[in-house]
């Protein structure tokens, strides 16, 4: 079964307030089977424009990734990100 991924491209506008999002989303998404494989480390834009931060969370399946994003507890915490950052979030299916 192919894995699923939540991929986020984020520019944080209020770093202090954004910390609460990071503290609260991590245990929720990990508890739903997610594993952070990229989380805001160094990156270099090779083409086009981009956001400041990039996050990739791996899940056992595409369905699990969709379910995690739609989880009511996660959605409550996502409201913090909506207030403190600009972001594009995708849920994608892996190749294997």
* CATH architecture entry for 4-41+53-93: 2-Layer Sandwich (3.30)
5-31: pLDDT as tens digits: 999 999 999 999 999 999 999 999 999
CB-based contacts of 53: which residues, under 8 Å, 6+ apart?
8, 9, 10, 11, 12, 40
Predicted model pTM: 0.93
Query: pLDDT tens, 37-89?
Result: 999 899 999 999 899 999 999 999 999 999 999 999 999 999 999 999 999 99
């Amino acid at each position: 079964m192919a894995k699923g991924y939540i991929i986020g491209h984020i520019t944080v506008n209020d770093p202090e307030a954004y910390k609460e999002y990071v503290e609260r989303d991590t245990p929720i998404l990990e508890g739903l089977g997610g594993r952070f494989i990229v989380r805001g480390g160094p990156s270099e834009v090779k083409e086009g424009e981009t956001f400041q931060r990039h996050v990739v969370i791996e899940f056992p399946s595409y369905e699990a990734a969709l379910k995690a994003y739609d989880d009511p507890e996660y959605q409550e915490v996502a409201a913090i990100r909506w207030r403190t950052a600009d972001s594009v979030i995708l849920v994608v299916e892996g190749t294997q």
